[in-house]
Structure 1
Amino acid sequence: MATTRGEDLLLKTLGDFTSKENWDSFFTIKGAEDPFEWYAEWPSLRGPLLAELSATDLPTPPPPPLQILVPGCGNSRLSEHLYDAGFRGITNVDFSKVVVSEMLRRNIRARPEMRWRVMDMTQMQFADETFEAVLDKGEGLTL
């Protein structure tokens, strides 16, 4: 996990990672302008991630635009970087109302096609085959 010493202390204070209330508190304290990245920053992810999302084993041609789900999006800038790289069909999901509101507010004008949903990723409300790719920032890419 790529964190600063202050983030480490804040996370220890919050305790249970499955608690919506703890994440709401975390994002209230942290704010949207200070992104939290679990493992890596965009410069190290850019090449491999863009290559994987552009892989030839996707349906040919992929439905425009490629539909990407980012569960547990938090306040990471990963979706913003993907959007700016040309991927417009991004749906971000997090169970923290605080972070989804902040991210929506931060992106609504600059990235109007990107979607944000308050939702528990263990109880998704999407139809089967809605997405061609699921990008779990903690586990990797699933196509």
Structure 2
Amino acid sequence: MVVIIPKSEKEFTDLSYWKKFFKHNSSFEWYGDYSKLGQIFEKYIKSTDFILQIGCGNSSLADDLYDNGYRNILSIDTDQNVIDKQNKKNLENRPTLKFKNCSASNIDLQNSSVNVIIDKGTLDALLPSKYS
């Protein structure tokens, strides 16, 4: 696995950086995986809650949530290739797990339909930088 950490703050907001990042990494967990975060999720999230994971990238978090009883999950990302890979990987064994290509700043969901939003680093990429 090749880890390509941004050289500057500006790269976090550049979509081409993320395309390159996900091209070279099979799976990457920002700020921890389910083994580190699962107890917190299990304490505060009901298995029936609708979970929106923004900026899923190639993380296996949605897979792990599903495997631990959460079935109502939508994961989004702006990289279509990442979404295609996630859908293909999960199609057979996790049929209700959904991945969608869209931006967290422009997602079409009904008001009050989401119970939980999980973000493990997307906010960093959305915040305007001094380079914008």
Q: TM-score range by the shorter chain?
A: 0.7 to 0.9
1:39 to 23, 28, 31: 31
2:24 to 20, 25, 29: 29
The two structures, once aligned, show a CA RMSD in angstroms of 2.1
TM-score by length of 2: 0.81
Cα deviation, residue 13, structure 1 = 6.0
Q: Is the 8 A contact 2:6 2:12 kept in 1?
A: no
Q: Once structures 1 and 2 are overlaid, which stretch shifts more, 70-79 or 21-30?
A: 21-30
Q: For residue 12 of structure 1, what is the amino acid of its counterpart?
A: P
Q: Cα distance 1:36–1:95, how it changes in 2: closer, same or farther (>3 A)? A: same
Q: Is the 8 A contact 1:24 1:97 kept in 2?
A: no
Of structures 1 and 2, the one with the larger relative CO (CA 8 A, separation 6+) is 2
TM-score by length of 1: 0.76
Task: Kindly report structure 1 stretches of 4+ aligned residues shifted beyond 6 Å.
Answer: none
Cα deviation, residue 128, structure 1 = 1.1
Q: For residue 19 of structure 2, what is the amino acid of its counterpart?
A: D
Partners in 2 of 1:52 and 1:115 — Cα distance? 22
* Paired residue total: 121
| Unaligned residue ranges in structure 1 (runs of 5+) | 55-63
